[in-house]
Amino acid sequence: MLKAALKILIAILIVINPELPAMLDLGKLPSENKIDMSKFILKWEDEFDGDKLDETKWGPSWWVTERKGGYWHEDMVRVEDGNLIITAQYLDEPLENDYYEKWKDEIDFDEYKAGWYTGEITTQGKYEQCYGYFEVRCILPAATGMWSAFWMMNDGVTHVDGSGRDGTEIDVYESFYYKDHWWGNDCVTTGVIYDGYGEDIVNYSIGKYFLENDPYEEYNTYGVEWNENEYIFYINGYETGRLSPEGGVSQNPEYLLLSCEFAGSNGIQESDRHGTGRIELTPGENWPAEFKVDYVKCYQYKDLVK
């Protein structure tokens, strides 16, 4: 009932003023524009069958241990019952760095310590694509102080040159808002970033979008159509928004990432980042939290397939 009432309220506010939901920190509703899949052909996919991660398609980011308010570790990633599962939880005993002996002479690793652990996987070095439609079907992790994401990257993202054409971080979705779950504001956000992550960063967002079901208990799809002119974002196949950044659209192949992260810095969970709320270690909290991914699919425009 609460979600139905909220949906009606948002619809009324949009009629009064399309900007009112954002001004009141409410999510917007997806449009009625449904994606036309007839112009695409499936190019790459992973349905996470079997009992382990397909290492021909994915790998961990071994170059990083400490990540914002916690740690990334490959042991927090598993495949089970047709899902990729990335777990997030507090560990009193630090996990070992499985890559240290192999890479210690080339990489300055941060030390693993007791703290909040989760994971990330990427197709970097295994699969990259330029343009097309990219989609994930997943259940979001139900916990405060953290978020999950499906995103895309390439090396050009860090080039500070006033352009996103060489590379853009494409955030198909990020789930910052579990803290609002109690009153029905089940939202995700979407956007793009280029020109690095320092003072020159350029960040575009289409805002928060509302899901009608419970995204922490039920599957939804999140997708982006990327062409030479714009990014078009979707939830369950319905358009949420479009971006045509001033610096242009990425024109280079990008790899995929699935991840969870904790708010904070230097491996210490201590902040409310982008609206995540703070972690509450109470009996009612959902720890360990799990990010469940049913599939990832990449489609290419038929007229670009050789």
How many independent structural domains does the chain possess?
A: 2
- CA 215 to chain centroid, in Å, comes to 14
Number of helices followed by number of strands (H, E) in the chain: 3, 17
Parallel, antiparallel, or unpaired: how do β-strands 115-118 and 83-91 relate? antiparallel
Residues 278 and 178 both lie in one domain: yes
Please say if the pLDDT value at position 216 is more than 90: yes
Residue 238 to residue 294: CA distance in whole angstroms: 19
Q: What is the mean pLDDT of residues 146-165?
A: 96
Residues 73 and 23 both lie in one domain: no
**From start to end of the chain, where are the E strands?**
40-46, 66-67, 70-72, 77-80, 83-91, 115-118, 120-122, 132-139, 146-153, 169-174, 187-194, 202-210, 220-226, 231-235, 238-243, 255-262, 289-301
Domain enclosing residue 282, as ranges: 33-304
Residues 137 and 15 both lie in one domain: no
Q: Which CATH number covers residue 107? A: 2.60.120.200
Residues 18 and 142 both lie in one domain: no
175 backbone φψ class: left, alpha, beta (φ>0; ψ -120 to 50): beta
Contact 175, 149 (CB under 8 A): yes
Residue 46 to residue 193: CA distance in whole angstroms: 26
Please say if the pLDDT value at position 95 is more than 80: yes
Residues 76 and 183 both lie in one domain: yes
pLDDT of residue 188: 95
**pTM for the full predicted model:** 0.93
Residues 13 and 75 both lie in one domain: no
The more confident residue out of 17 and 152 is: 152
The more confident residue out of 61 and 152 is: 152
pLDDT of residue 104: 77
How is residue 95 annotated by DSSP?
A: P
Average pLDDT, the chain: 90
> pLDDT tens for residues 9-46?
666 766 677 666 666 667 788 889 999 999 999 999 99
Residue 173 to residue 177: CA distance in whole angstroms: 12
Residues 158 and 276 both lie in one domain: yes
Residues 24 and 38 both lie in one domain: no
